[in-house]
Structure 1
Amino acid sequence: MTESTPFVCGRRAALVAAGVVGVGTVAACSGGGSSGTASDSGGGSSSAAASGSAVGATTDVPVGGGTVFASHGVVVTQPESGTFKAFTDICTHQGGTISEVEDKVMVCPVHGSEFSITDGSVVQGPATEALPEKSITVKDGTITLA
């Protein structure tokens, strides 16, 4: 029977290995230059829609929910029947684009922030600021940016 000597890692080797793992972890979590900013992929320019432009029909916005009108840079919600609100589609956390409205919240897919369809307030972070409200008018079933 042959006796083997167990591998022993020296202090220096252990510290070097920990440093390499730490640098890799920080790099993976940093988000990089533009990957954390979904607005670079079209969301930022869409928020510059001209006032007076028709966004959509009131029938496009469900009661108790909302619809993302990405080409206009807005999310229009209908918290109660006949009450329409509009908010920017740009998340206040890191500029991601709100992608959907579900269960009475507007959702940013980048880090999971959720905002109330009633007033744009933060329901779940990491965002800490409400979505800014946009002015709209509703006439003859058409929603228009004011």
Structure 2
Amino acid sequence: FEYYLEAATREVPVAQFEAALMLENGEGCEQNESEAAFWYEEAAKRGNMDAFNNLGAMFKEGRGVEQDYKKAFILFSKAANANNAKAQFNLGALYDTGLGCIEDKEKSIEWCRKAAYQGHEMAKGIIKRMQNDGQIVF
């Protein structure tokens, strides 16, 4: 952890992301979600799309930051538009529920499909279930 933290302070985006992930999960250090959010934000500022996604999840769930669905939506959108499969799935989930955005089932399906095409297992399962239920047709 100390190695990543030292590199993170030198503005290395991958190290910032890894330090955030370790802080979020308490791996190799004491769990600290607010510090994790800080490092995810720093990595996101430097273009790390996984950091955008993970920070979005923290805002969605109110972990380490004040819960804010609109911020989650913005962060997921940024990463989803950069072809991050996890963010595409998360964005689809927000569109499905209308959290942080206007509910839009078609956009939900569209983003879940994009994630599924990239191999996201949960997205594949949802698309398959919706096909079986006759909710969507390819």
TM-score where L is the length of structure 2:
0.25
If asked which structure has higher relative contact order (CA below 8 Å, sep 6+), I would say 1
Structure number with larger C-alpha Rg:
1
Greater helix proportion: 2
TM-score where L is the length of structure 1:
0.25
Greater strand proportion: 1
